[in-house]
Chain A
Amino acid sequence: MLALRNVSKIYRTGSVETTALRSLDLHVKPGEFVSVTGPSGSGKSTLLNLLGLLEAPSAGEYLIDGALSHTLSDFERSRLRNEKIGFVFQGFNLVRDLTIFDNCDIPLRYRGMGGTERRTRIESALERVGLASRARHFPTQLSGGQQQRVAIARALAGSPRVLLADEPTGNLDTHMAEEIMAMLEGVNQAGTTVVLITHDTALAARAHRQIRMLDGIASEIDAVVSDTLTLNASALA
C-alpha cells in the first residue's frame, strides 16, 4: 500500500540544513494499523506529510498504491490524496465559517461528485461518528471531541484506503481520546489502513505495529508482522 525506500527529508533554511528523516525504509500493507511514536522533532509529522503526499522526499522513493510519487504531477498527487488518503489532524482543521456538512463536503467537491451522492456519503459518515443531527452546526458550536469526530467523518466520507492521523487525540481528554481511538480502530477493522502518530504509548500499543522515531530514524519496537518493516541497517548502526 505505502512503501518508503531509503527516504530522506532535509529542510534548508538559508545555509542551515535540518535532517528530518534519514534513509528511511517502511512498508505498510493494506489493512494494517501502524502507530508512530517519538519525541517532538523526531520526524513523526514529516513522515506523515510524506505519506500523505503533502511533501516530497529529498532523496529516495515513495510508492503509494504502486505509483511512484515523484513521477506524479500536482494534479495527480492531488487526486491521489483526494481519492485514497484521509487526514485527521491534531487541531481538527475544520473551516470555521462552514457548517459541519460543508466541511465534510470539501474533499467530495474536488472529486467532482454529484450532489445526491455527496449528501448520501456525508450523512452516512456523520451517522457513523454520531453527529448526524449536527450537520448544520458550525465547528465552534461543537466540543473538541465532536470536532475531531467531524474530521474523521470528513475523512470517511471519501472512503479512503489510508487514514493518516496526526496526534488525533492530542487536544482531547482521556475519555474523548479513548472514544476517538475506538473510532479509528473501527475504521481499520472495516478495512482501511491506518497510520497513527501519537505521543501516547498506551494508544500506540493498540496498533498492529509500533514504530518509534528518533532523530529522523525509525525503528520497530513491537513487530507484530516483522517482515513488513525493513529497518535501515546503516541508520541503526
Chain B
Amino acid sequence: MTHTLLFGYYLRMALASLRRNLLLTSLMVVAIGVGIGAAMTTLTVFMVLTNDPLPDRSERVFHPRLDAQDMSGYAPGGEPHDLLTRLDAEQLLREKRGVRQAMMYAGFSVIELDQGDDMPFRQRIRYTSSDFFPMFGVPLQHGQPWSAADDEARARVVVIGADLNQRVFNGGNSVGKLLRINGEQFRVIGVAAPWHPQPTFYDLNREGGFAEADQLFLPFSTSRALRMGFAGNLDCWGEVDKEEGQLGLNSSCAWVQYWVELASAQDAADFRAYLENHSSQQRQNGRYQRPVNVRLDNIPQWLDYKRVVPSDVRLQTWLAFGFLFICLLNTTGLLLAKFLRRAPEIGLRRALGAPRSAVFQQCLVEAGLIGIAGGAFGLLLAWCGLWLVRQQAVGYAALAGMEAGTLFGTFLLALVASLAAAAFPAWRACLVAPASQLKSL
C-alpha cells in the first residue's frame, strides 16, 4: 500500500519536474530516442540475419563437405568445396549413416496449366530426396511427401507449396491432381503448408539465403531421368559423363547440396570419422587426389561459415550500440545536472523524512518516464530506419519489419537504458547532505 502510494506520488512529482524544464526534458528524450532508434534498427536487421531457421534441430542437422577436387589450386588447410559430387552424394545417401539425409539441387521448370487461357509460367523447382521433408520439418497441409521407394522408382510425383497450389489449383486439397511440368505429367502427392525458413540455409545461392520460399519439389532421381534443368553453382575439374554431361553420375563436378540429420549433436564425431573414411577410400581408389579434408557444420556453423550476416551489418550494429552508449552518457550528464540543480529541494525532502532510498526511487521514476518517452521516439525512428532498410536492394530487406518483439524490445531497451543512465545521477542526488542545502532553497 505504502509503496503504491509513493510510486503514484513519485510519478506525479516526476511529471511536474519534467514539465518544469521542457527543453531539458526534450533533449534527454531526443538523446535516448535517437540512440534507441539507431540501435533497434540495426539490431532488428541483425536478428533477422542471425535467425535460427530450424530452432528445434539446427544443432543436429549437418552439412558435410568433402575435398574431391584435383590438385589444381590446392592449398594445404584450405576449405573443401561447398557442394558434393553426385557420386559422393548418392553413395552417402545410399549408406544412410544419419537418421535422415537428403541430396538436392535447384532448377527452373515451365508449368503448363490445363485451362486454355492461362499462359505457361516459369517456376523455380527443388529436386531432392524423400527425407528432405521430415528432416527439415516441412509441414504438409494435404497428402504426404514421396517415399524412398518413389525415389528409387523415379516416380513422377511432386509436392507443391501453398502459394503454387493457390495459383494452379485455386487452393484446397490438390492431392491426386496432375501438373504438367516441362511437358511431362506429374501427380501431386502432397501440398505443403506455408514454410519459409529464414535464412534458407540449404540453398544460400539465391539472395544470400533470403529469397522466396520454394514452391515445387520433385524427386532428384526423377529429375535426372528426365534430364531436367539445373540452376546453381557447378564446378568441374576432370572428365564429364558421356551420356549426361556435367550432371552425370561419374562427372568430376561438384554441384549437389547434401544435408544429414543425426540423432544428436554428439554423433557428429562419428559421422566425421565416417566422412574421413569415405575420403580415404576415394583416395585409395584414385578418385580423390587431395589429402583427406572434410568438414561437418551444423546449421549455425554453416551460416557462420557462409557469412550470412555481412560484416558491415555486424559493424553497423556495434556502431549503433556505441552511439547509444554515447547518447546515454549525454543523458547521464543532463540528468546529473537536473538532479543536482534540485539539491535544495532534495535536501528539504530529506529533512522532512525522505530516506535516501526514496530520493533514489523518485529520481529513477523520473528517468523511467524519460526512457518511455525516449522509447516511443526511438520506436518512430526505428520504424523509419527499417523502412529505409526495406528500400535497399538486399535479399533480407523485406524481412526488416517492425514486429511485436521489436516493439516490446524497444521499450524495454529504452527503459533499461534510461535507468542505467540515471543510476549515477540518482545515487549522487541521494547523497545530498540536507543540512548544507536548507539555506539555499
- Residues of A bordering B, CB below 8 Å: 49, 52, 54-55, 74-75, 78-79, 81-83, 87, 89-91, 93-95, 97-98, 106-107, 109-112, 114-115, 154, 158, 166
Kindly supply a per-residue 1/0 record for chain B positions 1-45, scoring 1 wherever the CB is within 8 Å of any chain A CB and 0 otherwise. 110011001000000100010000000000000000000000000
Q: Judging by beta carbons under 8 Å apart, are A87 and B352 in contact?
A: yes
- Residues of B bordering A, CB below 8 Å: 1-2, 5-6, 9, 16, 20, 345, 348-358, 433-435, 438-439, 441
The minimal Cβ–Cβ distance linking A29 to chain B, given in whole angstroms, is 24
Q: Judging by beta carbons under 8 Å apart, are A55 and B355 in contact?
A: no
Partner of B349, one of A52, A94, A106: A106
Known contacts A52-B351, A87-B351, then 12 further A-B pairs from the complex at CB < 8 Å, ordered by chain A residue: A54-B351, A54-B435, A54-B438, A78-B358, A93-B348, A93-B438, A93-B441, A97-B16, A106-B352, A110-B353, A112-B1, A114-B5
Q: Judging by beta carbons under 8 Å apart, are B345 and A107 in contact?
A: no
Contact partners of A54 in chain B: CB under 8 A: 350-351, 433-435, 438
Across the two chains, which residue of chain B brings its CB closest to A79?
A: B353
Across the two chains, which residue of chain A brings its CB closest to B357?
A: A75
Known contacts A97-B20, A112-B2; A91/B352 CB under 8 A: no
14 pairs across A/B with beta carbons < 8 Å?
A55-B435, A75-B357, A78-B353, A81-B352, A81-B353, A93-B351, A93-B438, A95-B345, A109-B6, A110-B355, A112-B2, A112-B5, A114-B1, A158-B353
Contact partners of A93 in chain B: CB under 8 A: 348, 351, 438, 441
A176 CA to B1 CA in the complex, in Å?
41
Interface centre among B6, B351, B435, B438 (most CB of A within 10 A): B351
Contact partners of A79 in chain B: CB under 8 A: 353, 355
Contact partners of A83 in chain B: CB under 8 A: 353
Contact partners of A55 in chain B: CB under 8 A: 433, 435
Q: Judging by beta carbons under 8 Å apart, are A82 and B439 in contact?
A: no
Q: Judging by beta carbons under 8 Å apart, are B5 and A107 in contact?
A: no
The minimal Cβ–Cβ distance linking B401 to chain A, given in whole angstroms, is 44
Contact partners of A115 in chain B: CB under 8 A: 5
Q: Judging by beta carbons under 8 Å apart, are A110 and B352 in contact?
A: yes
Chain A interface main SS type: mixed
Contact partners of B20 in chain A: CB under 8 A: 97
A39 CA to B5 CA in the complex, in Å?
44
A95 CA to B343 CA in the complex, in Å?
12
Q: Judging by beta carbons under 8 Å apart, are B350 and A78 in contact?
A: yes
A95 CA to B6 CA in the complex, in Å?
18
Contact partners of A97 in chain B: CB under 8 A: 16, 20
The minimal Cβ–Cβ distance linking A59 to chain B, given in whole angstroms, is 18
Interface centre among B2, B352, B354, B357 (most CB of A within 10 A): B352
Interface centre among A78, A81, A95 (most CB of B within 10 A): A78
Contact partners of A89 in chain B: CB under 8 A: 438-439
Across the two chains, which residue of chain A brings its CB closest to B440?
A: A91
Q: Judging by beta carbons under 8 Å apart, are B441 and A107 in contact?
A: no
The minimal Cβ–Cβ distance linking A102 to chain B, given in whole angstroms, is 9
The minimal Cβ–Cβ distance linking A113 to chain B, given in whole angstroms, is 8
Q: Judging by beta carbons under 8 Å apart, are B355 and A75 in contact?
A: yes
Partner of B351, one of A81, A94, A98, A112: A81
The minimal Cβ–Cβ distance linking A117 to chain B, given in whole angstroms, is 11
Listed from nearest, the 8 A-B pairs whose CB atoms lie closest are A82-B353, A112-B2, A78-B355, A54-B435, A107-B352, A110-B353, A49-B435, A75-B355
Across the two chains, which residue of chain A brings its CB closest to B353?
A: A82
Contact partners of B354 in chain A: CB under 8 A: 78, 82, 106, 110
A54 CA to B358 CA in the complex, in Å?
16
Q: Judging by beta carbons under 8 Å apart, are A91 and B435 in contact?
A: no
Q: Judging by beta carbons under 8 Å apart, are A109 and B438 in contact?
A: no
The minimal Cβ–Cβ distance linking A64 to chain B, given in whole angstroms, is 14
A115 CA to B4 CA in the complex, in Å?
12
The minimal Cβ–Cβ distance linking A132 to chain B, given in whole angstroms, is 21
